[in-house]
Amino acid sequence: MELPLLYVMILLLNIFDFSSGITYNKGDTEKRFACASQGFPQKNEIIKLYLSSDDLKIQCFFQSEIELTSKEFLSVFTSGGLAPSLGIINSTYTGIFHFNLTLFSDRVYWLIDIPRENITKNTDIAAVEEWLVRITLQHGLNIYTTEGTLLDSIREPILQWKLGTVMTKNDIGKLYPHVVDLKTTKCPCANDVVLLGFIMNTTLDGVYIGLSFSGFWNYDDTTWYNLTDMVYSQVGEEHTELSMVDMVLTNHFLVILTSLGLFISGDLRYPSSSVLMFSRADFCGFERVDYIKGKLWYNERCFANREHFEVDYVTITFERNRTLSEASSCFYSKEPFLEWLPCLPPISKGMKTILSTVVTFLVDQEQSSGVYLFHNQKKTTVSVRILKNNKLRLIQKFPLFLFPSSFSSPVGMIFHPRSHFLYAYGNQVWLSIDGGNTFEFIADFDDDIIKNTYHSFYTSDITFVSRSGKVYLTKAGLGRYSKIGSISDKIFTLYYDHMGFIHKLTPDHFEAGGSLAAFGNSKGIFGQAPDMGFETVLAPQYITLNEMIFYAYVPENEPKESIYTKKFNDIHLGKLIHSRKTGTAYIRKILQHNTPEGFLSSVIAEIIDPFGIEEVHESSCLSSSLSINQAGNFSYKLSLQLQTSGVTSSFQDSDIEKTVVIPGYSSFLITRILDNENALAIATMPETVPHNMTFLKGSWFLYNFGQRDGRTWNIHSKPCNYWFQQHDDSLSLNVLKYIDLGKSHALKIKVIPNTKGVQTLEIPLLKVVVGNPNLLEVKVEGYFDGTDSYLMEISAASKTLRQGSTSLAFIVWGASTECLVTTFVPTLKSSCSYLKSMHHIPSEIIPLEDWISGVHMDSQGFNMIKVLPINYRPPSNMGIAIPLTDNFYHADPSKPIPRNLFHKSKKSGKFKQCANVSTREECNCTNDQKFSHAVAFSDCREKVPRFKFPVTQYPISLKIYSEDGHIPVETPYLVTVTEVNNRENWNLKHTVPENVKKMKDYLESILHAPVYNPLGLNLSIKGSELFHFRVSVVPGVSFCNLGEEFQIYVDEAPLPFPGHTLIALAAAVLLGGLIFIAFMFQIHNIHPWDTCKKLMRTNNVNSTNITAN
């Protein structure tokens, strides 16, 4: 058990190295965990996890180089209270989940079971980011970190379809002899989902495409489809020589260019049948000979959580100039790719123009422009035009950019995915960081031509492949590049998966990018890093003790056409010169010049390790003193003078190509031996030649950077020289941040030099590039700390009402191409975050379990939850029995509808979720919908908050939630309040400060609705039953349509007392009756008063008689 305990001790020691933020480039990522979501994990396999409609179950075991079982490691780590944690990360989300710490007796792996809804609640088919998973032994410590991917297989659009007829392995094997080239296209949001197409020769017709969801790690995991019948169903079977030419997979569509036309799939998000259907786009005047030379161009961007301003464009270019009868030789279209518009403006009659071929046309979504790469026999240019409402304007956005004549063979132009780096390539490579306004020279390949580029958004790798098979590597935005190998396969293509591993694909097998220890290292499939030196002699010249110039020698008789092979060029910038003896120097600058004679290029290098000098036993001439004399216009004679008798000292043939170095003076490259005591040499610095001077032995030295017995020096890439630290809660290298109207966002980046023996220059180590500088106001502040680390703080704020997105690139310009991270490219959207919402905070929080049970008693024993009657509709202003709203609550189509006696009530009321179904079960109401206050889900709503009558001064408390936390809703977020069922008997109270009153009055005149200050807003209700309120933030203060709904059921309202009505009615009846009786008496000549008098007299007489008796 000693070794496992040692692992734990190392872990505890690493705790003290913990710091906030993730530090990249510290070394190759070790793969200590083997994990799988399907079956048992295999050793030394990339972690590929898949999220289905079920819960995500992951098994992991610890793997080590020592002879111990996983079970022993698990028991040691578990006894120490350690278990792995799983981070699930994309550009907007980071979730941390912990494996079970408790182990069963027979288990040899850790286990975690994550409900799908804890990762994502969405199940609709849409462009969705593939997650990065990061497994560490303890969260926050980054110990034994192992990375992989997690793909949502039920939401990825292309995976929901059969592309054509499924082919067997034998069927595919029969195609190999007829394949002449390969094309790949990958899903913009999930780069492990990729298509591989065969380009066929004329001996076999067909369109054949392979689909992989695991990044082509295993050939057998690829599903192959035959789409030939689909094409012939569109064009007719009489056509022959059918082959795929190119293809592009956008966020929602698959576009395939064949020799018989261009075919566009239906929307991948809406499966209407099991087999994907295609339609053909017509281009008048173009035939097979044009289609086979056509190319598709696409600016790859991920539109997960898509905004209204985000749309995919695809361009097709034909390798010919247009004729007067044709609209263009280049067409573009936006999804759904039904209308294809010409890229070029119409040619006016009589207009004289030099015809140029459109090599490439790309749409720049960030700057809303179209970028052209033109070429004719005289020049190569880039033109940029404004794109508005899907139409190109004739006016140039920028002046025409003219490349030098040396850029004579342009092949294409491409944006690096999810960024604003624009590369033009051919016999040279150029980079634009401002949308095509200007270009910066990167590389010249002389008589070789770059035919293809391959990109990884995750690692920022860009690989260039030339026609000769040489492979070069650069990083997005970096001004330097390296040669990483060559490929001898006749038919191949390269491909970067989601984690930045490079793959070589051939028709019959796939080769992945090397060992797992080489994470982020593109040289995995190319073996040992090639020597970037060239076949010539170098002459060193000291400038200071720590700096040296290396001159590259070009012989006088060197043919003109091969001179470039004897010169330093841009590939050597930032590389290391190694001597076969000892010594290393870092190349800081490349120089091209015509003097001194014989040296047409040189480099300024900083010495890291001193170079070894020649010893006396290697060059006996060192035993003599040396004198220097002019021997011609550009040559010098070196003469030996023996200082000690009996010592053999002479020039030998092996001294040719060695360099005499004299501190403080010019160096001399020996080119010819005249005799034992004399040699001819050329000077590196003729101005500092010590004429007619003699130097004693020991005061001059010999360096050997020749090639007589094989080159004694070489040039290789420098090991990664900077650590990169991201000070952010997000763990993603491609973070996406939303900036709402009037808001800002801050980023902080730290670059830590890791440069042994190399001086750190006191100049900013980071370069910042804003893709669309007109969208956001970006402020940058950079400084060095006490440890020579460079920190940069960036603040980006919205400055206009304009919505859009822009990339923001941070480039460690001095970094080696060996670094995993040299470029950090966050995306900033001036828009509403899909995570931003407004919520009503109820005065009484009811737990979920009480909502489920339907019982929540307050302190008075009053149940605060009301279970609504089935098919309930709230009352209207006409009475409780006459509902007029269209909204049903607790809907059940199989049950009768109450309060449906009156004609107006019968005409109102419409099911939403329950429309066109017969039972409530068929409404498919989710738990979230049943508890939702939104009127859209009123059919599902069963229970609502219940209050006693009357409701007075109920506080409407609102908060805005986003990825940055939550804030109370207050000015300037003024609100409107409506009752969705048009009920009355409610009112609001609020306070209006003087600084808000003018804004309130102005908004009310525009909105024609009352506007309220949300701070201190109170609601009173004098009606009964259900009230459903909607609160909306007024427009103009946020890009979001912030709104919230809440419901209140007012119960136990007393019966209304009709006293006033009854008294008035009784009085009216009594008065009317009296008038009617008086009228009747008058008609019948009845005089009640006279009758009363007579009766009174009669009573008096009778009374008198009785008394007398």
Q: What is the DSSP string of 757-790?
A: T-PPPSS-SEEEEES-TTTEEEEEEEEE-TTS-E
How far is Cα of residue 128 from the mean position of the Cα atoms in its chain?
A: 11
Q: What is the mean pLDDT of residues 226-239?
A: 88
CA 1043, CA 934: separation in Å to the nearest integer?
10
CA 263, CA 721: separation in Å to the nearest integer?
48
Confidence category of residue 354, pLDDT binned at 50, 70, 90: low
> Which CA distances in Å does 348 have to 36, 124, 197, 353, 354?
63, 49, 41, 10, 13
CA 896, CA 880: separation in Å to the nearest integer?
18
How far is Cα of residue 615 from the mean position of the Cα atoms in its chain?
A: 58
* Dihedral angle sign, alpha carbons of residues 851, 852, 853, 854: positive
CA 1042, CA 959: separation in Å to the nearest integer?
11
Closest CA to 1047 of 965, 963, 971, 986: 986
* Dihedral angle sign, alpha carbons of residues 692, 697, 701, 702: positive
Closest CA to 209 of 259, 163, 240, 147: 163
For residue 1077, the number of C-alpha atoms closer than 13 Å in the C-beta half-sphere is 8
Higher pLDDT, 32 or 349: 32
Confidence at residue 394, expressed as pLDDT on a 0 to 100 scale:
86
Tell me the pLDDT tens digit for each residue of 950-1004.
899 999 999 999 888 899 999 889 999 999 999 999 999 998 888 889 899 999 9
Higher pLDDT, 9 or 477: 477
Q: Number of H helices and number of E strands within the chain? A: 12, 71
Q: Is 495's pLDDT higher than 90?
A: yes
Q: Which of 31-35, 414-418, 440-444, 592-596 has the lowest mean pLDDT?
A: 31-35
Confidence category of residue 769, pLDDT binned at 50, 70, 90: very high
CA 299, CA 306: separation in Å to the nearest integer?
16
Q: Is 1068's pLDDT higher than 90?
A: no
Cβ-in-10-Å burial (0-12, 13-18, 19+) of 544 comes to exposed
CA 908, CA 545: separation in Å to the nearest integer?
93
Q: CB–CB of 808/796 below 8 Å?
A: yes
CA 1054, CA 1077: separation in Å to the nearest integer?
40
Query: Residue 255: helix, strand or coil by DSSP?
Result: strand
Confidence at residue 668, expressed as pLDDT on a 0 to 100 scale:
96
Confidence at residue 627, expressed as pLDDT on a 0 to 100 scale:
94
Confidence at residue 520, expressed as pLDDT on a 0 to 100 scale:
45
Amino acid symbol at 328: S
Question: Which residues partner with 471 through β-bridges?
Answer: 465, 485
CA 382, CA 358: separation in Å to the nearest integer?
10
Beta strands in 949-1083 (DSSP E): 951-955, 957-962, 965-968, 975-979, 986-989, 1018-1021, 1025-1033, 1043-1051
Closest CA to 179 of 213, 202, 153, 156: 202
Confidence at residue 69, expressed as pLDDT on a 0 to 100 scale:
59
Q: Is 567's pLDDT higher than 60?
A: yes
Question: Which residues partner with 212 through β-bridges?
Answer: 194
Confidence at residue 103, expressed as pLDDT on a 0 to 100 scale:
59
Confidence category of residue 324, pLDDT binned at 50, 70, 90: very low
Higher pLDDT, 267 or 69: 267
Confidence at residue 528, expressed as pLDDT on a 0 to 100 scale:
78
Name the CA dihedral angle for 915, 919, 920, 926, rounded to a multiple of 10 degrees: -70
As a 3-state breakdown, the chain gives helix, strand, coil percent values, each rounded to 5, of 15, 35, 50
Tell me the pLDDT tens digit for each residue of 597-652.
999 999 999 999 999 999 999 999 999 999 999 988 889 999 999 877 777 889 99
Confidence category of residue 28, pLDDT binned at 50, 70, 90: low
Confidence at residue 256, expressed as pLDDT on a 0 to 100 scale:
97
CA 321, CA 875: separation in Å to the nearest integer?
72
CA 39, CA 47: separation in Å to the nearest integer?
12
> Which CA distances in Å does 331 have to 231, 350, 372, 857?
21, 24, 12, 68
Q: What is the DSSP code string of 684-735?
A: S-GGG--TTEEE-TTSSEEEE---BTB-SEEEEEPPP-EEEEE-SS---SS-
Q: Is 282's pLDDT higher than 80?
A: yes
Stated length of the chain: 1109
Closest CA to 717 of 447, 459, 475, 432: 475
> Which CA distances in Å does 535 have to 562, 593, 828?
11, 19, 48
Q: Is 710's pLDDT higher than 70?
A: yes
CA 155, CA 251: separation in Å to the nearest integer?
12
> Which CA distances in Å does 800 have to 397, 872, 1039?
21, 46, 11
Q: CB–CB of 772/367 below 8 Å?
A: yes
Q: CB–CB of 708/670 below 8 Å?
A: no
Confidence category of residue 1030, pLDDT binned at 50, 70, 90: very high
Q: Say which residue the tokens 């049970």 belong to.
A: 853
Share of the chain above pLDDT 70, in %: 89
Confidence at residue 127, expressed as pLDDT on a 0 to 100 scale:
94
Q: Is 479's pLDDT higher than 60?
A: yes
CA 591, CA 605: separation in Å to the nearest integer?
11
Q: What is the DSSP code string of 872-930?
A: B---BTTBTT----SB-BS--TTSPPSS--SHHHHH--B-STTTT-SSSGGG---HHHH
Q: Which of 48-57, 72-81, 845-854, 1075-1084 has the lowest mean pLDDT?
A: 72-81
How far is Cα of residue 895 from the mean position of the Cα atoms in its chain?
A: 50
Q: Which of 74-78, 578-582, 965-969 has the lowest mean pLDDT?
A: 74-78
Confidence at residue 799, expressed as pLDDT on a 0 to 100 scale:
84
Confidence at residue 518, expressed as pLDDT on a 0 to 100 scale:
43
Q: Is 1062's pLDDT higher than 90?
A: no
Closest CA to 794 of 754, 835, 733, 737: 737
Q: What is the mean pLDDT of the chain?
A: 87
Burial 630-655 (b: 16+ CB within 10 A, else e): ebeeebbbbbbeeeeeeeebbbeeeb
Confidence at residue 6, expressed as pLDDT on a 0 to 100 scale:
47
Confidence category of residue 761, pLDDT binned at 50, 70, 90: low
Q: Is 672's pLDDT higher than 50?
A: yes
CA 950, CA 1050: separation in Å to the nearest integer?
7
Q: CB–CB of 790/742 below 8 Å?
A: no
Tell me the pLDDT tens digit for each residue of 430-455.
999 999 999 999 999 988 999 999 99
Higher pLDDT, 744 or 1089: 744
Confidence category of residue 758, pLDDT binned at 50, 70, 90: low
**Number of Cβ atoms within 10 Å of the Cβ of 20:** 10
Tell me the pLDDT tens digit for each residue of 896-919.
999 888 888 989 999 999 999 999
